[in-house]
Amino acid sequence: TYQDRLDTLDNVRSAGMQICCGGIIGMGETVEDRARLLQTLATLDPHPESVPINALVPVPGTPLEDQTPVDPLELVRMVATARILMPTSFVRLSAGRSSLTREAQILCFLAGANSIFYGDKLLTTENNDVDDDLALIADAGLRVKACSA
């Protein structure tokens, strides 16, 4: 259940681990569903250390293969809202990023994304090319900061 998931977050935190918890948009949810997700995360004390914001990547052969891609500005709004609600969290621009234009990705950074998943492959989908990411970050006037474990 949803409560089981929230209890898991409490258990993870109680075990001394950091929380990485976000969501996938573009699966048929409403704007209110998205707001509730961010509100729920923002009420955790403390906020999750990492909040990945993913856009659905339709995969052939899955129930959502024909899902309409999320409007890039909806992703920007989600990032901006997450940043406002959770100012100390890493808001990670995550899956689905490779389908965005460079401009849309930069808008996400300007809206508050301060982290990406870096590397050629995500869990189940391809990711942006590493050299392209470095160029994007430079073009956006941002700098790369090493991860702290």
The residue assigned the tokens 């990485």 is 20
Q: Is 107 helix (H, G, I), strand (E, B) or coil?
A: helix
Taking the C-alpha atoms of residue 32 and residue 148, their distance in angstroms, rounded to an integer, is 34
Band of residue 89 on the pLDDT scale cut at 50, 70, 90: very high
Q: Is 125 helix (H, G, I), strand (E, B) or coil?
A: coil
- The pLDDT of 32-61, averaged and rounded, is 94
- The pLDDT of 31-50, averaged and rounded, is 95
Please choose, from the candidates 74, 72, 78, 31, the residue with its C-alpha nearest in 3D space to the C-alpha of residue 52: 78
Edge-to-edge strand ranges of the sheet holding 90-93: 23-25, 50-55, 90-93, 115-116
The strand pairing partners of 25, in sequence order, are 55
The residue assigned the tokens 């940043």 is 83
Q: What's the fold here for domain 2-139? A: TIM Barrel (3.20.20)
- Total-model pTM: 0.86
Q: Are 140 and 114 in contact (CB under 8 A)?
A: no
Q: What is the pLDDT of residue 42?
A: 96
Taking the C-alpha atoms of residue 147 and residue 65, their distance in angstroms, rounded to an integer, is 34
